[in-house]
Structure 1
Amino acid sequence: MDWQAWHAKYDVPGSELARRLAVVQEQVRAGLDRAPAGPVTVVSLCAGQGRDLLEVLSDHPRRDDVRARLVELDPELAGWARERAPEQVEVVTGDASLTDQYDGMVPADLVLMCGIFGNISTADIQRTIAAAPQFCAPGATLIWTRHREDPDLAPTICGWFESRGFERVYLSERDAGFGVGVHRFTGSSEPLVKGSRLFTFGSSR
């Protein structure tokens, strides 16, 4: 996959990715609005260029409260994000599937798992969701994406989240051309299990 070319579609007006980004950013804004007063911790797995968060922070009233870590394996994408990130946003060039990347930043108030679930196996999706309580503070917002093509796994993914103490906040309509899901964590945070791999990217089946 040419991830540079893939990200270029964000700049094509009306494209599926541009429309998905707008919805994700709307939900990021809402998640920041819901966060309790005081510091807001954010982590983003497979962050790409970081647009989900960075473009929202440019004018969000809570931007100075945010401390974030974006993890992205591709050095060019990570570099693009790093050049545009404010001081309180750390961009890490590394494997986002490794739990050690998030040490010291979780449990977080906003967790972004965008662009992952359509590129990993069903078993890895389940494994990642099972670990989600390690990433989320009570009341945290978690945003994820996956296509809604057959087989449409989005309703099942919602069920997996809900079985782990998450409450559904939003799921885009199937005919939108993309899938965006939002869950609020209503359970108790779990300690981060370091030294673990959540998924293998590019192994969808």
Structure 2
Amino acid sequence: MPKIHAASVADHRAQQRAALLEAARELLAEGDAAKVTFAEIARRTGLARNSVYKYFPDRGHLLTEVVREAAPRWTRHIQTALAAAGDAPEDRVAAYVTAQLMMVRDGEHRIARATADEQDAAALREGAKAAHRALLDPLVAALRDLGDEDPALTARFLQGFVNAATTALEAGGDYEAVRDRAVRLAVAALGGLAPKAQPG
């Protein structure tokens, strides 16, 4: 019999794990963590239900891992948008707000927000907390480059506009109208960072 190389086994396991996470991500993007059952994930991936337990001991671990693995993708999306925006502070903040709201529009945000019960909510929050910190990093870096004396605090304030816009979108608001207003408010807020003129 041919030998099964360790690398082949590792690759196979990695592919299976990725398929399980992708199935869970798709279910979460539909907006309800209650849909994420090992039976449904097994059905979508064509694996036996018991096989899912070889990769994740329970749903909490699976849900947390989905959010944690999504975070780098979200961060890359924002970093790419900021890089394309150039150096003007107004353009970079506008790009930051727009990039996040695009992800909300496309369903990515529901991955971090979907919950079925308190246990799921705790698991998702654990992963989402790190993800949200990572999302702020590109904006903090941009504000630091602009000479902001407290870029982390400013980033949290600007994120507030994004959070409010997200709530508006989830309530059925028109994407373009909500995005445009959020961008205008966030950009206008930069004016408050300008150093005050010293009396002569």
Shared fold, TM over 0.5? no
Higher strand share: 1
Instruction: Normalising by structure 2, report the TM-score.
Output: 0.29
Find the structure with the greater CA-based Rg: 2
Higher helix share: 2
Instruction: Normalising by structure 1, report the TM-score.
Output: 0.29
